[in-house]
Amino acid sequence: MRYWSGVLALMGGLLAVGLGPVEAQQPAPAAAPASSSSRIAYIDVQRVLARSSAGVAAREQLEREKSVMQKEMDGKRQELEKLRDELEKKGPLLTADVRRDKQEAFERKRRDAARMMDDFQKELEKKEQTLLQRVLQELSGVIDKVGKDKGYYMILEKRGASVLYASPDSDLTDEVIRAYDQQAPAKKTP
C-alpha cells in the first residue's frame, strides 16, 4: 500500500516529539511480567489512516484530484496520438520542410506532455504530504489523549518501532480510530 508513503518515518518523528524531557525524567517502571495489564501498547498507523474517517476523506480528495489530472493527461495523449497518426499516414506525401516542422511540433508537444505529467506527479505528492501531515498531527493529539486516559507508559507504532511480537490485547489501533472519528465532527476533515 504505497498510498501513504513516508507515513512511518513521519509518524515516528511525531511520536518522538511527544516523548519530551518530562517523560525522560520519570523513573523507569520496575520490570513487570508481560500481561494484559502491561502499560505499553501499540497502534498500527497504516490501519488508522486506512480506516479513520479523516484518512478516508484525505484519500478520496487525492483520488478526485488525481482523476482531474488524469483526464487532462488523457486529452494530451489523444492529441499526441492524432499527431503521430497524421505524421505516419501523411508524412510521405508532405514536403521535407513541412514533415520536419510537424515532427518538431510533435516532439515539442510530447516533451510538454511529459513535463506536465511530472508536474502533476509532484503536485499530487505535495498535496498527499500536506494532507498526511495534517491527519498525523491530529492523530498525535488523539494518541496522547488515549495514552494519558488509559494510563499507558508508552505507545509504539507497530511497524516503525520494529515490534517483533505484540499481544492483540495491547493493540489500541481500533480505540484510536474510534476516538479520532469521534473528534472529527468537531473539526473539518481535510
Residue 33 resides in a domain? no
pLDDT given for residue 160 in this prediction: 76
Residue 22 resides in a domain? no
Residue 32 resides in a domain? no
E strand residue ranges, 94-148: none
Residue 24 resides in a domain? no
Q: The cell 511527544 sits on which residue?
A: 18
Of 1-15, 59-73, 89-103, least confident by mean pLDDT is 1-15
Spatial separation of the C-alpha atoms in residues 177 and 47, rounded to whole Å: 9
Beta bridge pairs of residue 155: 41
Contact 47, 173 (CB under 8 A): yes
Residue 19 cell numbers, joined: 516523548
Statement: residue 87 has pLDDT above 80: yes
Question: What is the pLDDT confidence band of residue 189, given thresholds at 50, 70 and 90?
Answer: very low
Question: What is the pLDDT confidence band of residue 49, given thresholds at 50, 70 and 90?
Answer: confident
Spatial separation of the C-alpha atoms in residues 89 and 109, rounded to whole Å: 19
- Which residues span the domain enclosing 114? 7-17+38-186
Contact 160, 11 (CB under 8 A): yes
87 CB neighbour count, 10 Å cutoff: 16
Spatial separation of the C-alpha atoms in residues 185 and 182, rounded to whole Å: 7
Residue 166 resides in a domain? yes
What's the mean pLDDT in 167-190?
77
User: Between helices 96-150 and 173-183, what is the axis angle to 10°?
Assistant: 100
Residue 138 resides in a domain? yes
What's the mean pLDDT in 13-36?
38
Residue 31 resides in a domain? no
Residue 1 resides in a domain? no
pTM: 0.60
Number of structural domains found in the chain: 1
